[in-house]
């Protein structure tokens, strides 16, 4: 258990290329479950590998508590790692796999056996010690990998897309399981995923990354409700972002001319700096846009482009005066189809100004 701090950490692989990780500042609190979330190639794995010690930063510093570990070898850092492909030894038993890190730390005999049993119990695999790895399901194999990481009682637990090889249902079960185990062990954990639903469900806090940089850090709800910029708004939950002319502004709101010219008020972060003549980026989530009849009071007229039934809701793409808008509707007007004219309502309480 320890606080992990990254101070302006960068990694440049090729002398001429862009940094894979660019001046990242992060503080992961003691005992926290912290997620690096972003699209493929945004620098998540590289960041995690620098925390583990598999890469050294090109610049910047990494601290575990007050220890500067920036250039410390991986085996000196007391980190437990869990990977997407489990990286288990197929020819060893479950117990031998879990005990691997103990052998290299010279923990042997009854003490080793006790620690292995305890770790297997932690991941709900008590009694599986003598099984062969290929006798286990994917989810069980990933729990063995977790036990192997935890058995050394690491100061930090680092997990790189550990659920990616599991099918959807098992992924949801296993993420709950990982979170339970992490809570019980209260090990400071850094979790890497490109899956925003997974990040939302599991994390105490999330850092959203893009192009090697951190775009926003916050609790899931904060990032969802108050995305800092266009990237975060559209990456998390597919927000609509409308460019609208500012007609007035206050410290925590702006008034914008809506697509039909009617003024809309949107909440805005303090210090937004937007005034008349500026253009504001106003985000609104698909599930917050309301569909009505075309002639309903206060509704904007739009044309249905396509509808997609997803089970829980129907995803409706509409054209709003030339601007595409995504709507997630739990209940649809009966018989709605492409080309129909509908009304859309953008509820002011759900309008939020984001930075470019
Ligand atoms: P993510 O895990 O978010 O998908 P990575 O950290 O793996 O992203 O990669 C970030 C960027 O760094 C990518 O552009 C990738 O191609 C590059 N990269 C990663 N590892 C290496 C490496 N060992 N050598 C050169 N480039 C790398
Ligand atoms: Mg990766």
Question: Residue 256 sits in a domain of what CATH number?
Answer: 2.40.50.140
Closest listed ligand to the CA of 42? 1
CATH of the domain at 131: 3.40.50.300
Q: In 3-state terms, the chain is what percent helix, strand and coil (to 5)?
A: 25, 35, 40
Same domain for 218 and 319, yes or no, is no
Q: Considering only 65-69, 175-179, 204-208, which range has the smallest mean pLDDT?
A: 175-179
334: pLDDT strictly greater than 80: no
- Residue 14: its pLDDT value, please? 83
Identify the H or E element spanning 270: none
- Residue 239: its pLDDT value, please? 93
- Residue 260: its pLDDT value, please? 80
Q: Considering only 116-120, 273-277, 331-335, which range has the smallest mean pLDDT?
A: 331-335
Q: Using the mean position of ligand 2's atoms as its centre, give its distance from the Cα of residue 11 in Å.
A: 14
Instruction: Collapse the DSSP code of 189 into the 3-class scheme (helix H, G, I; strand E, B; otherwise coil) and give the result.
Output: strand
Share of the chain above pLDDT 70, in %: 100
Same domain for 295 and 164, yes or no, is no
Pocket of ligand 1 (CB under 6 A): 13, 20, 38, 40-46
Share of the chain above pLDDT 90, in %: 84
- CB 22, CB 212: distance < 8 Å: yes
Same domain for 118 and 79, yes or no, is yes
Q: Which of 44, 224, 351 is nearest to 216 (CA)?
A: 224
Bridge-based pairing of strands 33-37 and 205-210 is parallel
- Residue 321: its pLDDT value, please? 87
In which residue are the tokens 């003490």 written?
A: 111
Whole-number mean pLDDT of the chain? Answer: 94
For residues 303-331, average pLDDT: 91
Across-strand partners of 327? 316
Same domain for 26 and 115, yes or no, is yes
- The count of structural domains within the chain is 2
Q: Using the mean position of ligand 1's atoms as its centre, give its distance from the Cα of residue 279 in Å.
A: 35
For residues 266-287, average pLDDT: 95
Same domain for 196 and 48, yes or no, is yes
Phi, psi of 271 (to 5 degrees): 75, 25
Out of 198, 231, 264, pick the residue that ends a domain. 231
Inter-CA distances, 339 with 177, 316, 333, Å:
46, 12, 14
Model confidence over 16-48: pLDDT tens digits? 789 999 999 999 999 999 999 999 999 999 999
Same domain for 51 and 186, yes or no, is yes
- Residue 312: its pLDDT value, please? 85
Which residue has a Cα nearest atom 5 of ligand 1?
Answer: 43
pTM of the model: 0.94
Same domain for 16 and 31, yes or no, is yes
Same domain for 90 and 208, yes or no, is yes
- CB 93, CB 132: distance < 8 Å: yes
Atom of ligand 1 nearest to the CA of 212: 10
Range(s) of the domain holding residue 180: 4-231
Out of 165, 200, 231, pick the residue that ends a domain. 231
- Residue 261: its pLDDT value, please? 81
264: pLDDT strictly greater than 90: yes
Find which of 7-21, 23-37, 235-249 is predicted with most confidence, using mean pLDDT.
23-37
What is the distance between the alpha carbons of residues 174 and 227, in angstroms, rounded to a whole number? Answer: 28
Same domain for 124 and 224, yes or no, is yes
Out of 231, 264, 286, pick the residue that ends a domain. 231
- Residue 39: its pLDDT value, please? 97
Burial class (CB in 10 A: 0-12, 13-18, 19+), 177: middle
For residues 210-226, average pLDDT: 97
Residue list, CB under 5 A from ion ligand 2: 45
64: pLDDT strictly greater than 90: yes
Q: Which of 56, 75, 68 is nearest to 154 (CA)?
A: 75
Same domain for 227 and 242, yes or no, is no
94: pLDDT strictly greater than 90: yes
Same domain for 294 and 343, yes or no, is yes
Same domain for 191 and 225, yes or no, is yes
Which residue has a Cα nearest atom 19 of ligand 1?
Answer: 46
Q: Given ligand 1 and candidates 13, 55, 208, which is best to mutate, with the most ligand atoms within 8 Å of its CB?
A: 13
């Amino acid at each position: 258990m320890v606080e992990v701090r990254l101070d302006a950490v960068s990694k440049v692989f090729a002398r001429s290329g862009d940094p894979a990780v660019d001046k990242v500042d992060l503080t992961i609190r003691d005992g926290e479950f912290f997620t690096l979330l972003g699209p493929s190639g945004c620098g998540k794995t590289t960041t995690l590998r620098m925390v583990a010690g598999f890469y050294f930063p090109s610049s910047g510093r990494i601290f575990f508590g007050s220890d500067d570990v920036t250039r410390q070898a991986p085996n000196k850092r007391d980190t437990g790692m869990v990977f997407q492909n489990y990286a288990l030894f197929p020819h060893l038993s479950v117990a031998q796999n879990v005990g691997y890190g103990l052998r290299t730390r010279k923990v042997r005999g009854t003490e080793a056996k006790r620690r292995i049993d305890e770790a297997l119990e932690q991941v709900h695999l008590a009694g599986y010690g003598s099984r062969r790895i290929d006798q286990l399901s994917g989810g069980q194999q990933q729990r063995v990998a977790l036990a192997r990481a935890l058995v050394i009682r690491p100061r930090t637990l680092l997990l790189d897309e550990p659920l990616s090889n599991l099918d959807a249902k098992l992924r949801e079960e296993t993420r709950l399981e990982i979170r339970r185990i992490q809570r019980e062990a209260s090990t400071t954990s850094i979790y890497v995923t490109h899956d925003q639903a997974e990040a939302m469900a599991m994390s105490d806090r999330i850092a959203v990354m893009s192009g090697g940089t951190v775009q926003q850090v916050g609790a899931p709800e904060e990032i969802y409700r108050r995305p800092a910029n266009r990237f975060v708004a559209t990456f998390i939950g597919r927000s609509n972002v409308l460019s609208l002319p500012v007609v007035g502004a206050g410290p925590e709101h702006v008034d914008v001319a809506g697509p039909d010219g009617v003024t809309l008020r949107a909440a805005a972060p303090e210090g937004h700096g937007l005034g008349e003549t500026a253009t504001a980026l106003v985000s609104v989530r698909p599930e917050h846009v309301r569909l009505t009849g075309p002639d309903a009071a206060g509704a904007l007229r739009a044309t249905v482009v396509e509808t997609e039934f997803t089970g829980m809701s129907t995803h409706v793409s509409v054209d709003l005066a030339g601007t595409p808008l995504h709507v997630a509707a739990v209940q649809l007007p009966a018989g709605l189809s492409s080309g129909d004219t509908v009304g859309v309502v953008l509820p002011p309480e759900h309008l939020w100004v984001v930075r470019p």
